[in-house]
């Protein structure tokens, strides 16, 4: 079942990199009591994700937060080490939390997985953005073509706030 507006996020665990190494963060720890702009990408460092999607988020990060968003989160079916390197290489102003969904637990739980095995990528996430308020989906922008950023970018979500 694919998640939809009005649904509560499932209880899952992500991995995030800390000074002490990879740590578990639960859905509640990230989303409970907060307004979160969540952006999902098929893969760290992949062409569209790296060159189009992330720049659209970071170009609009200040404005998104000025509209009352507490946290900007980026999730991908990658491990915490890759996500940490990607954050280091892209998030120069430390504006987002990078969530590793290495086993696609979150992605599968919300019905947003895709089969990228034809490209050697295995199970990946569809490209989307969500506005989540206290764990409940308020806005969902599912990209019809995962190779493009037409409805899931930072500019689109900003315009919806």
Residue 51 has pLDDT above 90, yes or no: no
Least confident stretch, 1-5, 11-15, 21-25, 63-67? 1-5
Per-residue model confidence as pLDDT tens digits over 69-126: 999 999 999 999 999 999 999 998 999 999 999 999 999 999 999 888 778 777 889 9
> Over 90: is that where the pLDDT of 50 sits?
no
**How close are the terminal C-alpha atoms of the chain, in Å?**
26
| Angle at alpha carbon of residue 151, lines to 148 and 153, rounded to 5° | 80
Q: List Cβ neighbours of 31 (8 Å cut-off, separation of 6 or more).
A: 9, 132, 134, 135
Q: What angle do CA 8, 12, 16 make, to 5 degrees?
A: 120
pLDDT at position 88 is 94
Which pLDDT band, with edges at 50, 70 and 90, does 145 fall under?
confident
Is 13 an active-site residue? no
Q: Which of 9, 49, 132, 149 is catalytic?
A: 49
What domains lie within the chain, and their CATH numbers?
13-160 (3.40.30.10)
Say which residue the tokens 């907060």 belong to.
34
H/E segment holding residue 48 = helix 47-48
E strands within the chain? 13-18, 21-26, 35-41, 71-76, 96-100, 113-115, 123-125, 128-133, 136-142
Tell me if 65 sits within 8 A of 72, measured CB to CB: yes
């Amino acid at each position: 079942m694919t998640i939809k507006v009005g649904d509560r996020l499932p209880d899952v665990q992500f991995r995030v990199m800390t000074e002490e190494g990879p740590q578990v963060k639960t859905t509640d720890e990230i989303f409970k009591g907060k307004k979160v702009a969540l952006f999902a990408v098929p893969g760290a460092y992949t062409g569209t994700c790296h060159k189009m999607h992330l720049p659209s988020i970071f170009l609009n990060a200040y404005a998104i937060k000025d509209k009352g968003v507490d946290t900007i989160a980026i999730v991908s079916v990658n491990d915490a080490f890759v996500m940490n390197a990607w954050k280091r290489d892209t998030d120069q102003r430390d504006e987002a939390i990078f969530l590793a969904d290495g086993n696609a637990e979150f992605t599968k739980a919300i019905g947003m997985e895709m089969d990228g095995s034809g490209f050697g990528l295995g199970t990946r996430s569809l490209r989307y953005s969500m506005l989540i308020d206290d764990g409940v989906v308020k806005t969902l922008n599912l990209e019809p073509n995962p190779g493009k950023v037409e409805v899931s970018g930072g500019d689109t979500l900003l315009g919806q706030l």
